[in-house]
Homo-oligomer: A and B are copies of this chain.
Amino acid sequence: MSRQEQKQKTRQNIIAGAFQLLNENRTLSAISLREVAREAGIAPTSFYRHFKDMDELGLTLVDEAGLALRQLMRQARRRIASGGGVIDTSVDTFMEFISANSNVFRLLLREHTGTSAAYRLAVSREIQHFTDELSDYIIEQLRIPHDIAVLQAESMVRLVFSAGADALEADTILKNDISDRLKRQLRFIQLGSLAYWQTMPESQA
Binding site for B on A (CB under 8 A): 25-27, 29-30, 109-110, 112-115, 117, 120, 151-152, 154-155, 158-159, 161-163, 165, 169, 181, 184-185, 187-193, 195-196, 205
Is the beta-carbon distance between B196 and A191 smaller than 8 angstroms?
yes
A108 to B152: give the CA distance in the assembly, Å.
Answer: 26
Given A115-B27, A192-B187, is A154 in contact with B169 using a C-beta cutoff of 8 Å? no
Given A155-B188, A161-B162, A187-B192, is A113 in contact with B109 using a C-beta cutoff of 8 Å? yes
Question: Which residues from B are CB-within-8-Å of A195?
Answer: 191-192, 195
Shortest distance between the CB of A31 and any CB in chain B (Å): 11
A155 to B190: give the CA distance in the assembly, Å.
Answer: 13
Shortest distance between the CB of A81 and any CB in chain B (Å): 26
Since A30-B115, A112-B113, A187-B196 are in contact, a sample of 18 more A-B pairs with Cβ atoms closer than 8 Å, ordered by chain A residue number, is A26-B115, A27-B27, A27-B29, A29-B30, A30-B30, A112-B165, A113-B113, A120-B169, A151-B185, A152-B188, A154-B185, A159-B159, A184-B196, A187-B192, A188-B189, A189-B192, A192-B192, A192-B193
